[in-house]
């Protein structure tokens, strides 16, 4: 009996041990499968892909090829490929679309050959599961598709087709506040498009996402390349809190990271569905986007940088403590061979087009004025086309924006810009010694440059063209006059103003209305009045004392008028924009017409006279 009990106890213990062992092995296999599944899922994330690409490229560009024992042909091929990749990796940071395309092609081939096959791409982004796609995924897919159809006009077409540049209601009372593209609109567009992506399409979307984190400009990387007027970031929202706002029928949470804005046809449009995710990402973009051509270091002591990018875009970057947050502003000038016909399209547009043409041919000192974003730089590009090609052009800018040599490669053009060690007025001084016939100033933004511009227009060049932010002719004259006084070129207001109005001939004023429409508000002639007229002396011919005294009082009155508030100039609007069309107003003065004729060819003189007779008969 006792033996039987011992045997039963031993068997029970053995069975319990076996059960525990089986349970432990099953649990271990389950945990192993769970770990493998977790590892597999982590393998197919954007960050994992970025790390894989970064590690592969680092190893490829740093490996000592001499230790690999390659034959000479293979060795040289590897050297050339590595050099080309290094060059592209460097230049793509500066906004070179060609080098960006090369790096993306390299990443695509790498992922396609070693990491992502057709069955894996949906693990990275769930392309075929609509409900799992984020609004950012959907926008990336839409932008890729429209770029595939329309090239760099893809974003423009997306906005045009779905009227995304319309004013949106931001709060419950229906008050229209801003131009904004919301999550709801992107969702609706994505549903309507019903896109079917191939394996190559999916891979390209993933490659762009990897590239913009690895070497690009984050969420604005592909947007920046589009043919729009510009893009900016870090200019809205609260970086320390989230704000719930109402857009249309729904609500949307906007933080300081949801701060991507585009400048499209004169409108600032908020892409509220895009986010930089963190202040570190916004900071990374700001620190990289301005670095082309050794622009220097952005620091707390140097709180802003103005520079150009490799594709000709102008970039301004600011940082704390100079600004309240990190922010950047990219302005694009993507229309290369721009013409007046492209820019001026309203009714009776031939009037301003021909008038501007004759101002260029007639060598008139011309100011192009208007607010930011009104199209001054673009109009200046078109203006240059009508300057006689025999004349040499010298350009002064704060940052290279006009790029006139790219537009007119066969003409004698040289551009200078301000640097940390060479001021704008020093650059203008050097221009005097470079055989320049026409001086073009991208922007008269400082007092010294304004003073030098007036002096150069008097003695150093045939004529000058410049841009300025003045709102009226009176503001323009006062601003230039004050610059002469501040720089101590003159110490008398009347004399300084007289010098300004004797130099200026015409002001082309541009306007951008609330809807983003750009047009020429007016073209004004500035006519300096004759200040050398003799005082009236009719009192000498008076017949009696009372008459003589009365006439002498007239002479005295004229004296004091000239000494106080005598006008230095008359501003006549040659044409105006009225009710959607251009209308001829005052005729050009005889003095300016004769001066213009003196600089024109015989053929242009005849066509100019015919133009004047047609509109000012």
| 2, pLDDT greater than 70 | no
Starting at the edge strand found earlier in the chain, the sheet holding 438-441 runs 413-417, 393-397, 438-441, 463-468, 366-369, 506-512, 518-528, 569-578, 581-584
* Per-residue burial over 228-251, b = 16 or more CB atoms within 10 Å of its CB, e = otherwise: bbbbbbbbbbeeeeeeeeebeeee
Q: Report pLDDT for 95.
A: 87
| 23, pLDDT greater than 90 | no
Across the range 116-133, mean pLDDT stands at 89
Question: CA 481, CA 502: separation in Å to the nearest integer?
Answer: 12
Does residue 103 or residue 533 have the better pLDDT? Answer: 103
Nearest in space to 378 (alpha carbons), one of 325, 409, 342: 342
Please state, rounded to an integer, the average pLDDT across all residues of the chain. 84
Nearest in space to 364 (alpha carbons), one of 613, 595, 602: 595
Please report which confidence band the pLDDT of residue 31 belongs to, taking 50, 70 and 90 as the band edges. Answer: very low
Nearest in space to 186 (alpha carbons), one of 126, 236, 128, 145: 145
Q: Report pLDDT for 442.
A: 80
Does residue 130 or residue 333 have the better pLDDT? Answer: 130
Would you say 365 and 295 are in contact if contact means Cβ atoms under 8 Å apart?
no
Q: Report pLDDT for 426.
A: 77
CA dihedral sign, ordered 254, 258, 263, 265: negative
Give the pLDDT confidence of 545-590 residue by residue, as tens digits.
777 777 778 777 766 666 666 677 889 999 999 998 999 999 999 9
The CA-based diameter of the chain, rounded to the nearest angstrom, is 167
Across the range 225-252, mean pLDDT stands at 69
| 536, pLDDT greater than 70 | no
| 84, pLDDT greater than 70 | yes
Highest mean pLDDT among 64-68, 494-498, 600-604: 600-604
Does residue 107 or residue 64 have the better pLDDT? Answer: 107
Question: CA 399, CA 298: separation in Å to the nearest integer?
Answer: 16
Please report which confidence band the pLDDT of residue 244 belongs to, taking 50, 70 and 90 as the band edges. Answer: very low
Across the range 265-290, mean pLDDT stands at 89
Across the range 250-277, mean pLDDT stands at 78
Q: Report pLDDT for 533.
A: 61
Out of 148-157, 293-302, 355-364, which region has the weakest mean confidence (pLDDT)? Answer: 293-302
Question: CA 343, CA 254: separation in Å to the nearest integer?
Answer: 36
Please report which confidence band the pLDDT of residue 245 belongs to, taking 50, 70 and 90 as the band edges. Answer: very low
Residue with tokens 């390209």: 204
Cα angle: 156, vertex 158, 163; to 5 degrees: 95
Would you say 413 and 381 are in contact if contact means Cβ atoms under 8 Å apart?
no
The pTM of the full predicted model, rounded to 2 decimals, is 0.75
Give the pLDDT confidence of 303-356 residue by residue, as tens digits.
999 888 888 888 999 998 899 889 999 988 765 678 899 889 889 999 999 999
Q: Which two tokens stand for residue 435?
A: 């055989």
Neighbours of 153 (CB within 10 A): 16
| 375, pLDDT greater than 80 | yes
Across the range 376-404, mean pLDDT stands at 86
Please report which confidence band the pLDDT of residue 358 belongs to, taking 50, 70 and 90 as the band edges. Answer: very high
Does residue 568 or residue 253 have the better pLDDT? Answer: 568
Nearest in space to 214 (alpha carbons), one of 106, 127, 332, 83: 106
Cα angle: 201, vertex 202, 205; to 5 degrees: 90
Q: For the chain, which residues make up each domain, given as ranges?
A: 119-331, 340-529+568-615, 532-565
Across the range 586-608, mean pLDDT stands at 94
CA dihedral sign, ordered 96, 100, 101, 106: positive
Please report which confidence band the pLDDT of residue 4 belongs to, taking 50, 70 and 90 as the band edges. Answer: low
Q: Does domain 340-529+568-615 have CATH number 3.90.950.10?
A: no
Q: Report pLDDT for 608.
A: 95
Q: Report pLDDT for 35.
A: 35
Does residue 119 or residue 65 have the better pLDDT? Answer: 119
Q: Which two tokens stand for residue 269?
A: 């449009």
| 39, pLDDT greater than 60 | no
What is the rounded (10 degree) CA torsion for 139, 144, 145, 149?
A: 140
Out of 31-35, 326-330, 379-383, 595-599, which region has the weakest mean confidence (pLDDT)? Answer: 31-35
Number of H helices, E strands in the chain: 22, 19
Across the range 385-401, mean pLDDT stands at 85
Highest mean pLDDT among 447-461, 486-500, 530-544: 486-500
Tell me the H-state helices in 253-324. 279-289
């Amino acid at each position: 009996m006792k033996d039987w009990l011992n045997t039963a106890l031993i068997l029970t213990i053995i069975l319990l041990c076996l059960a525990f062992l089986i349970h432990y092995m099953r649990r271990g296999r389950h945990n192993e499968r769970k770990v493998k599944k977790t590892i597999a899922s982590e393998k197919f994330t954007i960050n994992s892909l970025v790390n894989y690409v970064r590690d592969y490229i680092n190893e490829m560009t740093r490996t000592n090829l001499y230790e690999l024992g390659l034959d000479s042909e293979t060795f040289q091929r590897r050297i050339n490929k590595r050099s080309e990749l290094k060059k592209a990796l460097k230049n793509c940071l500066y906004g070179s679309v060609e080098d960006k395309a090369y790096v993306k092609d390299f990443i695509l081939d790498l992922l396609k050959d070693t990491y992502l096959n057709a069955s894996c791409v949906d693990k990275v982004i769930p392309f075929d599961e609509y409900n799992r796609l984020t609004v950012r995924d959907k926008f990336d897919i839409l932008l890729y598709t429209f770029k595939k159809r329309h090239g760099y006009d893809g974003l423009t077409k997306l906005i045009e087709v779905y009227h995304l540049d319309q004013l949106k209601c931001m709060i419950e009372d229906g008050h229209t506040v801003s131009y904004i593209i919301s999550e709801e609109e992107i969702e609706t567009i994505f549903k309507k498009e019903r896109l079917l992506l191939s394996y190559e399409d999916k891979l390209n979307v993933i490659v762009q996402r990897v590239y913009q984190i690895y070497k690009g400009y984050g969420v604005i990387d592909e947007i920046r390349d589009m043919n729009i007027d510009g893009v900016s970031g870090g200019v809205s929202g609260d970086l320390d809190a989230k704000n719930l706002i109402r857009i249309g029928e729904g609500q949307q949470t906007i933080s300081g990271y949801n701060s991507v804005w585009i400048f499209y046809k004169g409108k600032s449009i908020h892409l509220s569905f895009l986010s930089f995710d963190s202040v570190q990402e916004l900071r990374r973009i700001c620190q990289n986007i301005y670095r082309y051509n050794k622009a220097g270091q952005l620091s707390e002591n140097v709180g802003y940088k103005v520079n150009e990018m490799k594709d000709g875009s102008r970039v301004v970057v600011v940082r704390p403590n100079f600004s309240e947050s990190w922010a950047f502003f990219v302005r694009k000038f993507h229309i290369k061979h721009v013409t007046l016909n492209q820019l001026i399209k309203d009714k009776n547009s031939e009037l301003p087009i021909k008038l501007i043409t004759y101002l260029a041919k007639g060598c008139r000192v011309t100011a192009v004025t208007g607010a930011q974003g009104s199209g001054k730089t673009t109009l200046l590009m078109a203006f240059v086309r009508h300057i006689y090609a025999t004349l040499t052009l010298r350009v002064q800018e704060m940052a290279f924006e006009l790029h006139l040599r790219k537009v007119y490669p066969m003409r004698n053009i040289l551009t200078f810009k301000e640097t940390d060690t060479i001021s704008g007025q020093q650059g203008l001084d050097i221009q005097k010694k470079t055989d320049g016939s026409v001086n073009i100033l991208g922007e008269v933004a400082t007092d010294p440059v304004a003073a030098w511009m007036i002096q150069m227009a008097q003695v150093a060049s045939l004529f000058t063209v410049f841009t300025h932010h003045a709102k009226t002719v009176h503001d323009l004259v006062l601003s230039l006059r004050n610059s002469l006084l501040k720089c101590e070129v003159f110490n008398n207001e009347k004399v300084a103003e007289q010098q300004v109005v004797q130099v200026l001939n015409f002001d082309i004023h541009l306007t951008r209305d609330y809807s983003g429409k750009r047009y020429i508000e007016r073209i004004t002639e500035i006519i300096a009045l004759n200040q050398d007229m003799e005082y009236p002396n009719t009192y000498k011919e008076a017949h009696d004392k009372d008459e003589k005294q009365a006439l002498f009082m007239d002479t005295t009155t004229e004296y004091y008028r000239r000494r106080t508030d005598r006008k230095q100039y008359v501003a006549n609007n040659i044409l105006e924009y009225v009710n959607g069309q251009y209308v001829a107003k005052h005729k050009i003065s005889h003095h300016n017409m004769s001066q213009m004729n003196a600089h024109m060819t015989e053929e242009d003189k005849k066509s100019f006279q015919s133009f004047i007779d047609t509109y000012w008969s």
